[in-house]
Amino acid sequence: MHVKKVLAVALLGVLRASADDASPAPPANAPLPTVAESPANPPIPGQTTAPPITTDGTRTPSPEATVAGDAMSTSVAEAAELFVPAACTAGRFQITNVKALATCEGGVPAPLEVNPAKKISLKIETAATKMVLEDSTSTSVEEVTIYTESSTSKVPVTVDIGAFPGLTALKTLTFRNVNFSDPSVYLKVAPVLTTINLESTNAEDLSLSMATADSVALKEVKFIGSSFPALPTILSERKYPAGLTVTGSWTIKGLQTELSPEAYSNLKANVGDTLAGIFGYSDSCSEGSITDKDRPVVCKASVGKGKNSSSSSSSGSASGREAEGRSSSSDTTLTIIVIIVALIAAGLAYFVARRYFCQSGSGSSSPQYNDPSVGLISKDETHGHNKLSFISSDDALREIRLEQHEVSISKSMGTGRIWAGEHSGRKVVIKRVEAESTDSHVTKALISQARSLAPLSHPNLVSLVGVAWIQGTDFGIVAECLEKGSLRSVLLDLDTELELQTKLNMCLDIASALMYLHHPSRNMYMRRLSSRKVLVNGTMDCKINLFDCHPFATRLDVPEAFGIGEMAWWAPELVTRKGSIDPRKVNIYALGVIMGEIFTRHTPYHNLVDAIGSTLADVELLKRIRREERLLPHENRREMSEIPAMVRDVVDRCLAYSPARRPSAEEVVVCLESAKGYSERHGSTTSL
């Protein structure tokens, strides 16, 4: 484990009237010089001189600072700069009311801390491998600049969701010569921000979220050396009271960006015709209506479509709305009716066929279910020794084969093929196919699933015990049994007290399991993820149900009935069927719903279901999805406002309507680990 060393930081010196006012120079054995000593970094007027470094790498107290208890109070300087040396292999940057500091991993000495200043710059040497901007809090910082001097060697920068909303006086934010770890840049800021600059970055989109519902002050955006696949979302996601002045040298690569009517209206109100040199407008996106061929075009979707995405980009605006379509004539109405009837007939035929061929409930027609290498022997041959020989002849299954006499079943666990049982005196859960089943596809699917599950091993996955022929006739997969049952039942049990730290751990457990499954070396996902599919053991560790882990599928199914209590966890794209579906993003949406359940201890859309019942609630949710409304399964409950801001924001990102705006499982893990560490350091035991 690497021990974090606090990186040396240089504070620019005060422009002094005479040499007598100079601060003492650092001792000769100081690891790094101050910026004021470097000819490349001349002092800035009005700035405080950094105190010298001691032999142990720390600073002596500044003469302007006084210590009272654990807090340091200083006068606020006009400007200060943090210098991240090349020796810093991986750095972290944070601003507070009493200091601005950077820490790093690598051969860098202990810190020089910068006193508060209105303008903070973070200069990163290009040899640094990455820099993470962490949660910051300050009421005095008005301007932040993150930059490297080289326009060719750019340092990767990761922006935590809590990096800027706590800077309540921040008016100007600049990124120069940096590469964002996620090119679809999503920033949460205080509403007082007036100017944002992206200069020579790799950003492919930019979207802002406001920390509070106050009026938005943003009025200037500068893009220098930027080329976007589509119109940047920031220009159309809301109306800015003062309009927007967009300057700089930038282009749009995509020929056409299609916006919802609302976003289109926002764009025209914000920038008008001031960007005519970059793109043109079209009041319709229909074929033949766009006559401008010499520049990219932003068009308004027809009523009833309401998309807010680019034909050349997967990102879209969070503010898009789908309007209700209307037919313009009786002929059109008749045509629509005929089409609907035909679609219903085709749909019925499809579902009948799918139910017949895919009763395994795998959720896809993945090729592994028809894999001839499964080598399933016919039903007439599936007796005694032949079955044992079959398992023994399969390399993957042979490693996890259990003896028949070691496994027994006791009772069915609800509907389906899940049974409670024992293995060598230990309680287990068994997924089995009874010998009486006449559908060989079912057994093939289960055996194929056993082979795909065999290599999996993670602390937050239910452990696979093995496979066996149960009672000599039924093929079964045997997994561990978790004593607390489903996460949903634990959350609804009010006798079970859950503190904030426990809830963060639960969220982290689930996100870690998804990160493991989604890894390119495995390419697996959790089918129909919900709080029912997450299980809990006696120490409140969460594990996702092994039986619902499947290899990636190009087509995912959803139940065809309303009122079964599952729609709340469905990602919008499962309902709309627009474009290709990424199983990982579907899982992330469900993760956002589950995290809301954990922190509120209420089922999703609890008030809505109570008011109109589960069936009508599903119908209402379907309407909201089709209108592209913002989805709030936790219904803005008070408990959500009491959790760490960075966690609340990552939940919001998970619930984004557009899959492209949802974080990866790894990003969620990083956020939750940061929040957990903060909670541990501050001894939070808040019970929500």
Q: Which of 26, 42, 44 is nearest to 34 (CA)?
A: 26
pLDDT at 494: 87
In the predicted model, what is the mean pLDDT of residues 102-124? 69
Q: Which of 179, 224, 181, 186 is nearest to 205 (CA)?
A: 186
Query: Whole-prediction pTM value?
Result: 0.49
Pick among 1.10.510.10, 3.90.550.10, 1.20.1510.10, 2.40.10.220: CATH of 486-681: 1.10.510.10
Q: What would you measure as the largest C-alpha separation in the chain, in angstroms?
A: 101
Q: Tell me the per-residue pLDDT of 523-581, one tens digit each, with 9 for 90 and over.
A: 999 999 999 999 999 999 999 999 889 998 766 766 656 677 788 999 998 888 776 78
- State which fold the 367-480 domain adopts: Phosphorylase Kinase; domain 1 (3.30.200)
Answer whether residue 234 shows pLDDT above 90.
Answer: yes
Question: What DSSP string runs through 557-583?
Answer: ---S-SSSS-GGGS-HHHHH--S---H
* pLDDT tens-place string over residues 605-629: 998 998 898 889 888 998 888 888 8
Mean pLDDT of 180-188: 83
Host H or E run for residue 209: strand 205-210
Confidence class for position 53, pLDDT limits 50, 70, 90: very low
The domain locations on the chain are 5-218, 367-480, 486-681
- Write out the E strands in 70-183: 71-73, 77-84, 88-95, 100-106, 117-124, 131-133, 143-147, 155-159, 172-176, 178-180
12-21, 116-125, 136-145, 193-202 — most confident range: 193-202
Residues 205-216 have a mean pLDDT of 77
Give the contacts of 405 (CB within 8 A, at least 6 positions apart): none
Considering just the CA atoms, what is the radius of gyration of the chain in Å? Answer: 29
